[in-house]
Structure 1
Amino acid sequence: MASLHISNVRKAYGATEILKNINIDVSHGDFLVLVGPSGCGKSTLLSLVAGLDTISGGEILIGEDRVNDLHPSERDIAMVFQSYALYPNMTVGQNISFGLEMRKVPKAEREKAVADAARLLQIDHLIDRRPAQLSGGQRQRVAMGRALVRKPKIFLFDEPLSNLDAKLRVDMRTEIKKLHQRLGATIVYVTHDQIEAMTLATRIAVMKGGVIQQFGTPAEIYNSPANTFVATFMGSPSMNLIPSSLATQDAKLFLTMGEGAAAVKLELPPQQAEAAFGFAGKKVIVGLRPEAIGVEHSRSQSAVREVDVKMLVMEPTGPDVFAVIEMGGVEVGARLGADIPHSAGERCTLRVDLSKLVLFDAQTEQRIG
């Protein structure tokens, strides 16, 4: 296994720039997820790492080796595709061992590697079947087994779960997580699904328009989004963005959240106020995750404020209720307890945890502080 260093990498087709100065450093054993909407450049970046496309500028290092000009076969990587790319006329065992056979690995060593991979992926009972006799999840395991036996420096996954149904996606996500924990492998994984990104990654690169919007741990991305795009793209349901303003009063900073006569005025907790004092008198955007609204308990009780709201829509999900509420004259989403004693159309008071609040500059849409 190896580290991966991507330094000032660019990709252009003629005058059209697809990737713009991409910088990423991941350590040995990291699970990097490239996530973003369709067309953001994440698959192009994976292709550059794999050597399936040439870079227009910058440098890619796998371990200590500069691989810019190396053929894919010389990079010591293994790729798992969305389409599985299995040979239909070969058995599971033959599919897994094919790459080793091409490298003229001795038969006994091939057989041991195939048996070990099949056992690890729990497909050893399928070893003599052909791909047509397998389910989607089983085919994906075979594709992963073919990559595993190579023992590469880096595994590359290109949206490997997008062809599976919802339940199987969850199951396979768990299997990939277990696999990473067992192997300690360095993995680069492309997806447009932010749930996959949050659950699998040790590091996430959120991309938009060929630019990395934020690079960090899942907790950093979720709790401290760099801008409003990251705030709304990562998280399900997404973060609420509420037009607001800041003003000082008696050396304290107050937030007026929402619009018009229904706007709510709240004193900011000291930690949030410290970073935002420079924006007093200015327009800001308040970011609040749905779970920060309607809290029963908080580690920062001094940051909890009571706010009058109106329930508009209630959507029970079993363990909780997702509600659309009117707060400060603005519709926002809240994740509430399953036993909440209110119904649609009611006015009530909910507790809002301002320690989880994120402030964005209304002009630049970048996080404040």
Structure 2
Amino acid sequence: MASLHISNVRKAYGATEILKNINIDVGDGDFLVLVGPSGCGKSTLLSLIAGLDTISDGEIRIDSDRVNDLHPSERDIAMVFQSYALYPNMTIGQNISFGLEMRKVGKAEREKAVSDAAKLLQIDHLINRRPGQLSGGQRQRVAMGRALVRNPKIFLFDEPLSNLDAKLRVDMRTEIKKLHQRLGATIVYVTHDQIEAMTLATRIAVMKGGVIQQFGTPAEIYSAPANTFVATFMGSPSMNLIPAMLSAEGGKLMLAVGQGSAAARFELPPQSAAVASYAGKPVIAGLRPEAIGVEGGRTPDALREVEVKMLVMEPTGPDVFAVMELGGVEVAARLGADVPHSPGERCKLRVDLSKLVLFDAQTEERIA
């Protein structure tokens, strides 16, 4: 496997800039997920790594080797496409071994590589069938097998699960996760699905408008989003963003969450100097749905009681998604399945302020 280093990479088509100063370092064995809305530049960046397109400025290195000007065949990468791209007239075994055959790999070595990959992906019983006889999930495994036999330095996945139904996506997600754990492979994976990003990645790059909004571990992206875009894009339901006002009273920081006379006021647990400097200023309070209605917490001194009005309740089985009015603003919460409340009811819930994230009201950047 190998490391990947992307330094100050730009891509423009004429006057239209698609990627702007992209900087990413992927360690040996990392699983990097590029995630963002359609048109954010993630697939373009994958094409630049693969060598399917040329960069306008900057540098891409695999290990210590600069690959900007190398042909795709010289970069030692393997790519798995959204469309599977299998040859319908070939058997599964022939599809998997085709790339090795083109590289003049010996027959015995080819057969062993195909057998090993097929067993690893649990498709060895399908080896003599043709793609038209397989399900979508099986075809995607074949496409992965074709990449595996190459034993490349880096695997590139371009939205490989988007053509599958919901259950198959979950199953294949698990298989890809297992594959990464078994092989310790370096993987770059493109998706617009934030659930895929959170479950698969060791590192995530959240993109918007050709710019990386945040690069970090899934836990960092989820718990400490860099700005309100990341906060709302990552997480389902997304983070609640509530207008708020900070004030200093008697040496304590107070937060008024919501609007006008209905705003709920909390005494904050100890905060950073950066947060304290916003006393007297409007901010945006970010709370994940699971931080509202908690029964207990690791930091009990950060729990605060608040009155809410239940508006809509959606049971999902293990829990209930609730929309409620807090401080005169609608927010979403994830509550326990046995929650005793009903729509229209006013009740008191506890909010875990250790999970609170505050953003600058003007720039929408997180206040560190």
* TM-score scaled by length of structure 1: 0.99
- Within a 5 Å distance, the mapping from 1:38-53 to structure 2 comes to 38-53=38-53
CA RMSD of superposed structures (Å): 0.5
Supply the AA of the counterpart residue of 2:249.
Answer: Q
Aligned residue number for residue 238 of structure 1: 238
Aligned residue number for residue 141 of structure 2: 141
Once the two structures are aligned, what percentage of the paired residues are identical? 85
- Within a 5 Å distance, the mapping from 1:120-199 to structure 2 comes to 120-199=120-199
Aligned residue number for residue 353 of structure 1: 352
Cα deviation 1:326-368 (Å, max 9, x = unaligned): 0000000000001111100000000000000000000000000
Supply the AA of the counterpart residue of 1:279.
Answer: Y
Cα deviation 1:82-122 (Å, max 9, x = unaligned): 00000000000000000000000000000000000000000
Aligned partner of residue 58 in structure 2, secondary structure? strand
- Provide the rounded CA distance (Å) in 1 between the counterparts of 2:149 and 2:64: 23
- Provide the rounded CA distance (Å) in 2 between the counterparts of 1:204 and 1:276: 26
Supply the AA of the counterpart residue of 2:311.
Answer: L
Supply the AA of the counterpart residue of 1:19.
Answer: L
- Provide the rounded CA distance (Å) in 2 between the counterparts of 1:360 and 1:205: 20
- Within a 5 Å distance, the mapping from 1:287-298 to structure 2 comes to 287-298=286-297
Aligned partner of residue 243 in structure 1, secondary structure? strand
Aligned residue number for residue 83 of structure 2: 83
Deviation at 1:225, TM superposition (A): 0.0
Q: Does structure 2 retain, via aligned residues, the 8 Å contact 1:253–1:273?
A: no
Where do 5+ consecutive residues of structure 1 fail to align? none
- Within a 5 Å distance, the mapping from 1:332-351 to structure 2 comes to 332-351=331-350
Aligned partner of residue 38 in structure 2, secondary structure? coil
Cα deviation 1:249-301 (Å, max 9, x = unaligned): 0011100000011101111101x354411101101000000000000010000
Aligned partner of residue 214 in structure 1, secondary structure? strand
Aligned residue number for residue 279 of structure 1: 278
Deviation at 1:190, TM superposition (A): 0.1
- Provide the rounded CA distance (Å) in 2 between the counterparts of 1:275 and 1:12: 37
Aligned residue number for residue 320 of structure 1: 319
Cα deviation 1:1-55 (Å, max 9, x = unaligned): 1000000000000000000000000100000000000000000000000000000
Aligned residue number for residue 304 of structure 1: 303
- Provide the rounded CA distance (Å) in 1 between the counterparts of 2:58 and 2:272: 40
- Provide the rounded CA distance (Å) in 2 between the counterparts of 1:86 and 1:146: 9
Aligned residue number for residue 36 of structure 1: 36
Supply the AA of the counterpart residue of 2:277.
Answer: G
Where do 5+ consecutive residues of structure 2 fail to align? none
* TM-score scaled by length of structure 2: 1.00
- Provide the rounded CA distance (Å) in 2 between the counterparts of 1:255 and 1:297: 21
Q: Does structure 2 retain, via aligned residues, the 8 Å contact 1:4–1:61?
A: yes
Aligned residue number for residue 248 of structure 1: 248
Q: How has the CA–CA distance of structure 1 residues 61 and 273 changed in structure 2, closer, same or farther, with 3 Å as cutoff?
A: closer
Supply the AA of the counterpart residue of 1:106.
Answer: G
Q: Does structure 2 retain, via aligned residues, the 8 Å contact 1:254–1:268?
A: yes
Supply the AA of the counterpart residue of 1:277.
Answer: A
Q: Does structure 2 retain, via aligned residues, the 8 Å contact 1:244–1:286?
A: yes
- Provide the rounded CA distance (Å) in 1 between the counterparts of 2:333 and 2:125: 47
Aligned residue number for residue 329 of structure 2: 330
Aligned partner of residue 266 in structure 1, secondary structure? strand
Supply the AA of the counterpart residue of 1:169.
Answer: R
- Provide the rounded CA distance (Å) in 2 between the counterparts of 1:201 and 1:165: 21
Cα deviation 1:45-91 (Å, max 9, x = unaligned): 00000000000000000111100000000000000000000000000
1:17 aligns with 2:11: no
Aligned residue number for residue 267 of structure 1: 267
Supply the AA of the counterpart residue of 2:289.
Answer: P
Deviation at 1:199, TM superposition (A): 0.0
1:114 aligns with 2:114: yes
- Provide the rounded CA distance (Å) in 2 between the counterparts of 1:102 and 1:347: 69
Cα deviation 1:210-255 (Å, max 9, x = unaligned): 0000000000000000000000000000000000010100011100
Aligned residue number for residue 64 of structure 2: 64
Aligned partner of residue 277 in structure 2, secondary structure? helix
Cα deviation 1:124-179 (Å, max 9, x = unaligned): 00000000000000000000000000000000000000000000000000000000
Supply the AA of the counterpart residue of 1:10.
Answer: R
Aligned partner of residue 221 in structure 2, secondary structure? helix
Aligned partner of residue 279 in structure 1, secondary structure? coil
